[in-house]
Structure 1
Amino acid sequence: MTSTTTSPPAMTPRRAATAALLGSALEYYDFFVYGAAAALVFNVLFFPSGDPAVALIGSFATFAVGYVARPVGAMVMGHFGDRLGRKKVMLATVVMMGAASFSIGCLPTFDQVGLLAPALLVVLRVVQGFSAGAESAGASTLTVEHSPVGRRGFFTSFVMVGYAVGCSLATIVFLPVALLPAEHLYGWGWRVPFWLSAVVVVITYYVRSHLDETPVFAEAKEERAVRKLPLSDVFKYHWRSVICVAGASLMAAMQTLFAVFSLSYGTSVGVHRSAMLAVISGAIALSVFTLPAAGYLSDVIGRKRTMLISSVGCAVTIFGYLWAISTTDVLLIGVSAFINMTLFFSCYNGVWTSFFAEQFPAPVRFTGMAVSNQLGNLLAGFAPMVAAMLLVPGPSGWLPVAIFGAVAAGIAAVAVLGMRETSKTPTEMLGGPRAQPTNPKPSPAGTKRTVEAVTD
């Protein structure tokens, strides 16, 4: 008697990388636009006039709220990503993110509706964070599972190439807005970048809707290895990986200090906002080249070695970057930004997308990466607000902020040391040593491997 099995979907790494890039571009377009608006606009339009420092901290607090919502989004959307499939959830995240961003551009200001204005801003920021909590992890999981061994780092690095593309697009849109006279900037100009996110949503949804489910998930579903409660399995069997990935994710604080806090700090010491936007976006835009190079390098010399180089480099160069801003010398700021962001941070940013996903087995990969990554990202969300409170008057007032960033990078480096090297590990073996099958029911064909629970 002959049994038949359904052929799993074919690996399409290039198409998966493109879909991941576009989704990440939308996420980070919204991230950069919101961060720029929080630093330059929201403190004026959405908070009572009075102490500018208090208004700025309140504005940065709404930025941080999105990061508080991310772990919740990671748990909920990660659950469905491991239960229903990567593709369906990735379509949902795009729609949610786009709808929230467009709606922010339609909000009334404090002068129009009072405290309702910041309340509505917080609600929509929560929706953004809920969606973003699953976006990077889902895109990374999808690309890792579509990529061949020895190339996973390279292809999955395009998730963060989307970060560079999204921030560049945001700058192209926001820079001319920032140059508007104050009455136009605070009147209608700041709304335009949020409205234009709808264009990215349409393109991303189209590309993702034409992408197949990953072969790994399709096989797990056929073999009845899909977990009923992925989150429970993650904390029961993979808690060490959760701790390490969460710790390694603290490195994201370097990103928010660079892209959000430094914009506010630069303008406060006399650097024109358009110059700071140009420097920040230029350094990030150049990462389009260094991010895939970092992913390729991690396939050759290993994920851990590449990320440790980044951690040490960023911890040192954040001092030079903030000092350069204090001098108000735009050329010096640009050079230090290139070293800190384009070179060193890219060695981390181009690798974590594959490395974190590879720490978990297929049945819980989406949930495991999403939850642990977003728990660590909480610090990143609050980093601009913490930095604003640490900043003190005087030429060296930036020093406590630099120490804060260096400590975050140091903790991330220690966490990376505790993780398993995975650059050469076969995809089906990712997640660590095998335990007893959690789903003893055999595959209908009786010939394929059973996807098993994994313990650290």
Structure 2
Amino acid sequence: MTDTTSRPAHTDDPEYAANLRRATLASSVGSALEYFDFALYGLSSALIFNVLFFSNLDPAMGVVAAFASFGVGFAARPLGGLFFGTIGDRIGRKWVLVVTILLMGGATTLIGLLPTYETIGIWAPILLTVLRLLQGFGAGAEQAGATVLMAEYSPVGRRGFFSSLPFIGIQLGTLMAAVVFSILSSLPEDVFLGWAWRIPFILSFVLILVALFIRMRLRETPTFIELEKHEQIADRPIRDIFTRGLPGVVVGIGLRMAENGGSYMFQNLALAFVATAGTGAFIASPVDRGVATWGVTIGSLIGMAVIPLTGHLSDRFGRRAVYRFGSVFMLLYTFPAWWLLSLGDPAIVIAVIALGIGIAVNTMLGPQCAMLPELFGNRHRYLGVAMAREISAVLAGGLAGVLGAYLLVTSDGDWLMPAIYMATLALITTASTFLVPETRGRDLLRLDDAVRVSAGESGDAERQPVSASARA
């Protein structure tokens, strides 16, 4: 249900403009750090962790085990989303984002200090898994918080565009990880696997300091301030989300299956498929891992343009139309993409991965930035977005690597298996775009959920009294 009664924010107000800039910067740096961490871990899982932490296994099963350690971080994300999302709906968005950046970035830094299997045996993969769990727990509310923060700060008529801007940080983080990994992987093998791989993990500490400095100066969002002013903060947001908000969570999960799962399949599984640490476990002519990561790099550069463009288009043509275009594009792209990857041609591999990330994935991510917060009422928005994002992260992103690698191992490297898997994710998301109402321009001060209103249900106290200045 679209609500056009909200007045646009006064973007010519110096104070509002300054807060909008701070919110954009705070969200962008956090997104960059989260995806730098995750892209770094994903690239390492695809290309080197099987050698460093699972050297007791054969190369193909070592890749499966490395992706399993990658996947456990996703299992912790819904717990983190539940815990921090509840706090975010009760005490505000700002302080949750301060804590999550410390937890997530600290775990990543410690990974760079871990001894390997050769040094301490089985304790190496155990400690790696523990840190990955902590990383996932912190990340469980980080992106949801950035999404909600920007949607609640953005002017109504341009919410799709402004909400998408921090997600350029996702591409920046992925880009930084891919570039750093490409440079380091060009070093001699003994140097790269000996100590050089640790450098980007340890350097993430710098991003933590930058993010903390920015977020400590951030003001609370206008919509949460209105909740406080009218004493309408939810006492039990968990109860609310599982009784009233569940339809929105389910639809949100469906919307993210292709975007999240496809992202990790192109970034990580595809690299493992074509490179496999030079062993030729999946294809006859493995592509050099340093060459293959350039596909991720170029895809991230394309995404920096595609995300704000599709966010802007969703302001003009609606969230559903743009989102559906992206999911259908991925569905049509999937089978030729994986067949082309199986050929093992370096130039083709780079192009396929770049288009998969840059166009197929990010065409959905652009409108999603505003769409997910618009699905939920003001009292449980943070928790609703966190649950939709993080449960889908387990079902799509977490399984993408380990299940995809397992399918490749059991099918003797048949490209058709990951193609069918990715097509299934795209079909789920395409179907979900027909279940979600159009949310463009929805008043974020409403207390009811868009899906429930679309289904003809009424909520309690659907609209609270608000001041015109709060309608941002």
User: Which sits farther off after the overlay, 211-220 or 347-356?
Assistant: 347-356
User: Which sits farther off after the overlay, 254-263 or 169-178?
Assistant: 169-178
SS of 1:286 mapped into structure 2: helix
- Deviation per CA, 1:200-224, whole angstroms, max 9, x where unpaired? 1111111111111001001101211
The answer on 1:418 being equivalent to 2:426 is no
Offset, 1:377: 1.2
From the superposition, tell whether residues 217 and 52 of structure 1 become closer, same or farther in structure 2 (CA, over 3 Å).
same
TM-score by length of 1: 0.91
- The residue number in structure 2 matching 1:126 is 133
Q: How many residues are matched?
A: 435
User: Matched residues in 2 for 1:365 and 1:420: separation?
Assistant: 17
Residues 304 and 416 of structure 1 are in contact (CA less than 8 Å); yes or no, is this contact kept in structure 2? Answer: yes
- The residue number in structure 1 matching 2:152 is 145
Equivalent of 1:388, from 393, 401, 405? 405
Residues 112 and 198 of structure 2 are in contact (CA less than 8 Å); yes or no, is this contact kept in structure 1? Answer: yes
Pairing of 1:24-423 with structure 2 (within 5 A): 24-251=31-258, 252-268=260-276, 269=283, 270-379=286-395, 380-391=397-408, 397-423=414-440
What is the letter of the counterpart of residue 300 of structure 1?
A: R
User: Matched residues in 1 for 2:110 and 2:345: separation?
Assistant: 38
User: Which sits farther off after the overlay, 56-65 or 340-349?
Assistant: 340-349
What is the letter of the counterpart of residue 258 of structure 1?
A: F
- Deviation per CA, 1:266-286, whole angstroms, max 9, x where unpaired? 114311101101112211222
User: Matched residues in 1 for 2:104 and 2:28: separation?
Assistant: 15
Residues 174 and 296 of structure 2 are in contact (CA less than 8 Å); yes or no, is this contact kept in structure 1? Answer: no
User: Matched residues in 1 for 2:192 and 2:426: separation?
Assistant: 36
Offset, 1:395: 9.8
State the identity as a percent.
34
Residues 267 and 353 of structure 2 are in contact (CA less than 8 Å); yes or no, is this contact kept in structure 1? Answer: no
TM-score by length of 2: 0.88
- The residue number in structure 1 matching 2:7 is none
User: Which sits farther off after the overlay, 47-56 or 91-100?
Assistant: 47-56
- Deviation per CA, 1:255-301, whole angstroms, max 9, x where unpaired? 01000101111114311101101112211222111110010011110
User: Matched residues in 1 for 2:212 and 2:112: separation?
Assistant: 21
Offset, 1:14: 3.1
Residues 179 and 294 of structure 2 are in contact (CA less than 8 Å); yes or no, is this contact kept in structure 1? Answer: no
Pairing of 1:441-452 with structure 2 (within 5 A): 448=466
Offset, 1:338: 3.6
Residues 337 and 352 of structure 2 are in contact (CA less than 8 Å); yes or no, is this contact kept in structure 1? Answer: yes
User: Matched residues in 1 for 2:409 and 2:62: separation?
Assistant: 17
User: Which sits farther off after the overlay, 66-75 or 282-291?
Assistant: 282-291
- The residue number in structure 2 matching 1:16 is 23
User: Which sits farther off after the overlay, 188-197 or 341-350?
Assistant: 341-350
User: Matched residues in 1 for 2:268 and 2:440: separation?
Assistant: 32
Offset, 1:448: 4.2
Residues 309 and 344 of structure 1 are in contact (CA less than 8 Å); yes or no, is this contact kept in structure 2? Answer: no
Offset, 1:130: 0.5
User: Matched residues in 1 for 2:341 and 2:198: separation?
Assistant: 28
SS of 1:350 mapped into structure 2: helix
User: Matched residues in 2 for 1:214 and 1:227: separation?
Assistant: 16
What is the letter of the counterpart of residue 419 of structure 1?
A: V
Residues 340 and 348 of structure 2 are in contact (CA less than 8 Å); yes or no, is this contact kept in structure 1? Answer: yes
Offset, 1:308: 0.5
Which runs of 5 or more residues in structure 2 are unaligned?
Answer: 1-14, 277-282, 468-472
Residues 181 and 290 of structure 2 are in contact (CA less than 8 Å); yes or no, is this contact kept in structure 1? Answer: no
Which runs of 5 or more residues in structure 1 are unaligned?
Answer: 1-8, 450-456
Offset, 1:17: 1.8
- The residue number in structure 1 matching 2:461 is 437
What is the letter of the counterpart of residue 461 of structure 2?
A: P
Offset, 1:10: 4.2
User: Which sits farther off after the overlay, 316-325 or 221-230?
Assistant: 316-325
Residues 50 and 62 of structure 2 are in contact (CA less than 8 Å); yes or no, is this contact kept in structure 1? Answer: yes
User: Matched residues in 1 for 2:261 and 2:460: separation?
Assistant: 38
User: Matched residues in 1 for 2:130 and 2:22: separation?
Assistant: 34
